[in-house]
A and B are shown apart, each in its own frame.
Chain A
Amino acid sequence: MTTATTTRATILRQHLIDPEICIRCNTCEETCPVDAISHDSRNYVVNVDKCKFCYNCISPCPTGAIDNWRHVQAETAYPLAEQLLWDTLPQQVALEDSAPAAAGSSSAVLPDEVERIAAASTSGQGGVAPPPWSAAHPYINLYSIQKPAVANVSGNFRLTAEDASSDIRHIVLDFGNASFPVLEGQTIGILPPGLDAAGRPHHVRLYSVASPRDGERPRYNNLSLTVKRVTADHEGAPVRGVASNFLCDLKKGDKVNVVGPYGTSFLMPNHPGSNLLMICTGTGSAPMRAMTERRRRKSIPSEDGKLMLFFGARTPGELPYFGPLTRLPKEFVDINLAFSRVPEQPRQYVQDLIRARGDDVAHLLRDENTYLYLCGLKGMETGVDGAFSDICGRHGLDWKSLRTELLQQGRYHVETY
């Protein structure tokens, strides 16, 4: 794998502005928080050394000129002087390892839309953090959109109660003879069949793997996903999620096009004594289940650290894996469930429980072997951050600096949507 590693280190996704479409309105330069964008009387250009992929400049651009990307070898990235002379954007140059990945060979070049989703989901922590030092080496991008893997559905079970308002499902995909290695915390991409209203193929949708690395069923070549049927958008307006409905309606034996795997950051530590502090809502439980399951299967109690889980849902009936979770031994995992819509009970959110368990949480935060994972709806970030801040304040810690330290050490991972 030396070649792949070298390639991974040297291929960049360079942000560029299309000079043919750009109208030099200066909005991007004004918006960029790190001054990566500058201009002369001819072109607006992006400094490859400064751009942090925050995407703040994308939506204010009135023309779409800002939304251009080229994969380049780091040493031959387009310098500013060259960009300033362009009349048109150069074509994507074929890189040695960037041709559509043949099954089984790895490429470091991720599809644009996958990069976009990954960037949005980690924006809460200020971009992708390094993985834990003891994480296993992940395989990524083995299957491209041009050459997806085809998986067989070997199971589709409803996880939420029949009367619950949400339909969350546990879907098991079998890869037959194809190699599809994943680690806990990684995601895979699903390509829904058919075309959208504009006649284009649907975008890829990413799902966290809910099973550990040895499969949902050990020694079989399979993995599981936790999928919620989307029937409304973030504002509550009715909308039929293309991929989630496709997945939730799958029957045993159906075929699914899968791309990936993706993710080199949200991975679990593997060294003895490492603690996992996991906070999730709804289907954000998928990676937590994978990690918990991994620890449960290889459990050597003397070696393993503590597992603490904060899990939020509207009601017990809507909490995926509620039954199996409550049967796990207390000494194995410290589970805290928050329900926000149980009739006649005060609304409780994960941050309330984190505060209530402040002493134990602070104890874990002080331990340099503790790794934090946050996964679920974007809205939870602020509340959880506030809870950590309070707890730290009460226990003589400074959350702001601790958080920076955790991020730098690959000990804090956020994936929200």
Chain B
Amino acid sequence: MSIDYNQKIPNNVNLSENKTLQRALEHWQPEFINWWKDMGPDDSQNFDVYLRTAVSVDPGGWAHFDYVKMPDYRWGIFLNPAEAERKVNFGAHKGEAAWQEVPGEYRSNLRRLIVTQGDTEPASVEQQRHLGLTCPSLYDMRNLFQVNVEEGRHLWAMVYLLHAYFGRDGREEAEALLERRSGDADNPRILGAFNESTPDWLSFFMFTYFTDRDGKYQLCSLAESGFDPLARTCKFMLTEEAHHMFVGESGVGRVIQRTCEVMNQLKTDDVAKIRAQGVIDLPTIQRYLNFHFSVTMDLFGADVSSNAATFYNTGLKGRYEETKQDDDHQLSDASYPVLEVGDGKLLTVQAPYLNALNERLRDDYVRDAVAGIERWNKVIQKAGIPFILSAPHKAFNRKIGPLSAAKISPAGKVLSEAEWTHHHLQWLPSIEDRAFVSSLMGRVAEPGKYANWIAPPARGINNQPIDFEYVRFN
């Protein structure tokens, strides 16, 4: 499955044999590059960045490192190798051969799934476009740009599917993906979290930890799809997505580590004294965590959803690790617990499993996200500081679904409007918190130097030293 880099659009899908598709994508390509130049990383198009590019999709070939100027990055179309005789593994079509073409009756649902996934990719690039100007080190700047170019590639992955399988509608959707803008009042991105701004690096690390992890779970469920080209596309995207979560988990971990060092030097947990040393106090980190966790909870959609049932039943979107689940993979008679507010408290009620699939994916996600928070706690514990970070309740600060009508504390207590108003600034970052974090942001761009508010990483990228020149300015 080597990738043909001699083509204008690198690919491993024999694009040159389908002239119509090739022409359509070659027509979209300059529009993409224009979008990248307009909305991609600010003021950095001429930098040489030590980036990873896939040269083939097998394990040996997809992590090739070299200096690249971002607009010259070889965005292309890479699918995991086809699995012989793959089947639809769930829903009403379970046991049938996986589809190589879009089944007519599911066309619009499938397009909707692909467009929704595709829309998040350029959105996050837009959200992060100014961060290069305030990077805490060359190492972090490089990681940011790696995330950005790979989100760009993920857009390509979805656009390929739209062009290849959805004709004129697909081409129009592909253009619209370049027209919507994150945070734009008139033409916003589809999902709420992707219209929030990513104003500082703590937000960026939280975003890549929490929100990109939602991406992982969505991609995992789409990688189970009965529509084989979608499954193969998502499988390869997952390999790239891993880096994004690494940036988040290690980034937040390094912020915590640095804060703990300063707390131990000063022998204090006084927020004002800690802030005066130019590092981010742990309570502020907890508030950022609460915010990003809750915003990401909404990305999984309504707790009870007929769309989720339809996507599953029609074989379009499975569960996380569908084939590893020990049940009938049709779920028509099964139930699953969801939350409801009643009697002034949160109640667990049983909903038909098919309708509760969003909740199921959210629960899978929460288990994974919490495990990483435990790693951060180990850093604090190691420093001997009595402070524990925790994930808020999954019903906290929701804006989507029935729970959005209620006010719920991070501990899962239902609150009155007045209680919420009184307390919410203890739980979510205030304007002052954000202003303080912003005040620490300033570009550190000398090899081996790291901003005061963050510890250097334990090891460099691709076994390079941490003082490696990850970005060269020209």
Q: Residues of A with Cβ closer than 8 Å to B? A: 20-21, 23-27, 30-31, 41-42, 55-64, 87, 198
Contacts and interface: CB of A to CB of B under 8 A. Distances in A.
B242 interface: yes
A60 B216 contact: no
Contacts of B367: 41
Nearest to B467: A198
12 contacts: A21-B458, A23-B249, A23-B250, A24-B371, A25-B216, A26-B216, A31-B239, A41-B368, A55-B59, A56-B60, A59-B62, A60-B242
Contacts of A62: 242-243, 245-246
Contacts of A23: 242, 245-246, 249-250, 372
Contact of A64 (B245, B249, B374, B459): B459
A64 B463 contact: yes
A86 to B, nearest CB: 12
B253 to A, nearest CB: 10
B63 interface: yes
Given A30-B238, A30-B239, A63 B59 contact: no
Interface in B460-474: 463-465, 468
B241 interface: yes
A55 B58 CA distance: 12
B267 interface: no
A31 B249 contact: no
B345 interface: no
B23 to A, nearest CB: 30
A62 B251 CA distance: 14
Nearest to A18: B458
A20 B379 CA distance: 10
B245 A87 contact: no
Contact of B62 (A25, A60, A64): A60
A56 B249 CA distance: 24
Given A59-B62, A60-B59, A64-B459, A24 B372 contact: yes
Shortest beta-carbon contacts, A-B, top 7: A25-B242, A56-B59, A62-B246, A62-B243, A59-B63, A27-B242, A62-B242
A26 B375 CA distance: 17
A31 B250 contact: no
A59 B372 contact: no
Contacts of A42: 371, 374
B371 A60 contact: no
Contacts of A198: 464-465, 468
A21 B375 CA distance: 9
Nearest to A31: B59
B378 interface: yes
Contacts of B464: 198
A25 B246 contact: yes
Q: Of B58, B60, B378, which is in contact with the most chain A CB atoms at under 10 Å from its CB?
A: B60
A interface, over-half SS: loop
Given A23-B242, A42-B371, 8 more contacts: A20-B378, A25-B241, A41-B367, A41-B368, A59-B62, A61-B242, A64-B463, A198-B464
Nearest to B379: A20
Interface string B60-102: 1011000000000000000000000000000000000000000
B5 to A, nearest CB: 11
B223 to A, nearest CB: 9
Most buried by A among B60, B246, B367, B374: B246
A87 B59 contact: no
A27 B239 contact: yes
B238 A27 contact: yes
A29 to B, nearest CB: 10
Contacts of A24: 368, 371-372
Residue among B59, B63, B463 with max Cβ neighbours from chain A (10 Å)? B59
Contacts of A60: 59, 62-63, 239, 242
Interface of B is mostly: helix
B81 to A, nearest CB: 12
A198 B447 CA distance: 13
Contacts of A61: 242
Given A27-B242, A41-B371, A59 B60 contact: yes
Contacts of B468: 198
Nearest to A58: B59
B245 A25 contact: yes
Contacts of B463: 64
A48 B32 CA distance: 47
Given A23-B249, A25-B241, A64-B459, A57 B59 contact: yes
A57 B242 CA distance: 13
B382 to A, nearest CB: 10
Contacts of A57: 59
Contacts of A26: 216, 238, 242
Nearest to A22: B375
Contacts of B62: 59-60
A206 B399 CA distance: 61
Nearest to A198: B465
Nearest to B64: A59
B238 A63 contact: no
A64 B58 CA distance: 18
A130 B458 CA distance: 40
A60 B463 CA distance: 13
Interface string B291-323: 000000000000000000000000000000000
B368 to A, nearest CB: 7
B231 to A, nearest CB: 13
Interface in B217-275: 235, 238-239, 241-243, 245-246, 249-250
Contacts of A31: 59, 239
A248 to B, nearest CB: 27
Given A24-B371, A41-B367, A41-B371, A63 B246 contact: yes
Nearest to A88: B378
B369 to A, nearest CB: 10
Nearest to B320: A26
Contacts of A56: 58-60
A127 B242 CA distance: 28
Nearest to B378: A87
Contacts of A25: 216, 241-242, 245-246
Contacts of B370: 41
A60 B465 CA distance: 19
Interface in B200-229: 216
Contacts of A87: 378
A56 B239 CA distance: 13
A21 to B, nearest CB: 7
Contacts of A64: 459, 463
A392 B175 CA distance: 54
Nearest to B223: A30
A209 B370 CA distance: 54
A59 B242 CA distance: 12
Nearest to A61: B242
Interface in B363-409: 367-368, 370-372, 374-375, 378
A381 to B, nearest CB: 14
Contacts of B371: 24, 41-42
A20 B376 CA distance: 10
A42 B373 CA distance: 11
Contacts of B458: 21
A20 B378 CA distance: 9
Contacts of B235: 30
A59 B60 CA distance: 7
A135 B264 CA distance: 63
Nearest to A123: B60
Give the most central of A25, A42, A59, A64: most B CB within 10 Å.
Answer: A25
A352 B447 CA distance: 52
Contacts of B239: 27, 30-31, 60
